[in-house]
Amino acid sequence: MTESTSTLQKQVLSLAQPTGNLHAGRYFGAVQNWARLQDQYDCIYGIANYHAMTMPYDPQKLREQVWNLAFDLVAAGLDTDNMFIQSLVPEHAELAWIFNCVSSFGEVSRMTQFKDKSQQVSEKDKDAFISVGLFTYPVLQAADILVYRADYVPVGKDQEQHLELTRNIAMRFNQVVGKEYFRLPEPLFSETPKIMSTADPLRKMSASAGPKHHINLLDPVETIRKQIRSAVTDSGDTPAGQLSPGVENLFTILKASGGQAAADEMLPDAKAGLLQYGRLKEVVADHLIALTDPIRARRAEIAADKKQYKERIIAASEIIRERARQTLREVKDLVGLQHMRGA
């Protein structure tokens, strides 16, 4: 695909936390789109291991999860030259501190994810430790975006609040320094399907909910097929002419997997209550497995040469870091802080 030079110069940035595996919800909801965007924009994709520290975690497991996610993303089509690991670019954290000093406590306290995640922790253990990092991580998220002066951020509707905070922080910073320094990043909405849990189609697919609630695309083919066969379908109280949440979710996965024609052919029977769910599940499994066969093959290749891919991502992180260094030098000048060059 050929794009205009002006489009290619526009910068897209997004980060993913190193939690869980490459499941169908994460792939169709974000990663597949990230790979496509590389053909249209200057893309930078990060692995947000600072953010992963805001919830209870195991240090050794975090280290392993960072590389596992990195390898998964490469297998799914991301170019190693476009990738960085957040902790290898410490300018993120330094800019976040500066932003903490120009951010409104009231606005940050209204962020819904802090309430949701802290409640999750408290429900498991009423005496659980809830970190300040969990409260302030939206400010770090703003630094993630603004340190690279990104034009666009791929987001879902449930993430708009965070991008709005980023824009507000950028505007407040510009007002404080009396200069329109930061551009205001725009959301980049795309038609990404929302994949629900195959065990509970009323909740979003998530690795944190347990193995029954997500389809790991890197699992053996028979494991994937077995999980789709066990997917919840008819809830028993679906009105005539409509699809139950479970059946609708299977059709969503089928369409996302390139099976639009098969979905169109089976949909009338499904709405009429004539479709055998066993047949639907087999067709869904066939399309999903066919789509993701290359990802599993590529991931196996990467696993056989991990050292090379680690070195490439570390090298890319250093190159990408120079963009962040330049921004931070300029920000320090604007807010009156010394820095190593021209201190």
Q: Is 95 helix (H, G, I), strand (E, B) or coil?
A: helix
CA distances from 325 to 13, 42, 147, 319 (A): 17, 18, 8, 10
pTM (predicted TM-score):
0.89
Asked if residues 166 and 146 have their Cβ atoms less than 8 Å apart, the reply is yes
CA-based nearest residue to 226, from 216, 236, 241: 216
Structure tokens at 192: 């990404």
The residues, ordered by sequence, that sit 6+ positions from 215 with a Cβ below 8 Å of its Cβ are: 23, 24, 198, 205, 224, 227, 228, 288
Asked if residues 105 and 138 have their Cβ atoms less than 8 Å apart, the reply is no
CA-based nearest residue to 89, from 333, 307, 331, 316: 316
What was the pLDDT predicted at 40? 92
How many residues in total does the chain contain? 343
What was the pLDDT predicted at 128? 72
Helix (H) or strand (E) holding 176: helix 160-177
CB atoms within 10 A of CB 309: 19
Measured in degrees and rounded to the nearest 5, phi and psi for residue 167 equal -65, -40
Q: What is the DSSP letter of 198?
A: S
CA-based nearest residue to 235, from 201, 267, 266: 201
Residue type at 190? S
What is the three-state SS of 20-76? CCCEHHHHHHHHHHHHHHCCCCEEEEEECHHHHCCCCCCHHHHHHHHHHHHHHHHHC
Distance CA 277, CA 42 (A): 43
The parts of the chain modelled with pLDDT lower than 50 are: 1-6, 343
Q: Sketch out the chain's domains with CATH numbers.
A: 5-192+306-335 (3.40.50.620), 207-301 (1.10.240.10)
What was the pLDDT predicted at 116? 73
Kindly calculate the radius of gyration of the chain based on its CA atoms and give it in whole angstroms: 22
Distance CA 168, CA 178 (A): 15
CB atoms within 10 A of CB 217: 24
**DSSP bridge partners of 244:** none
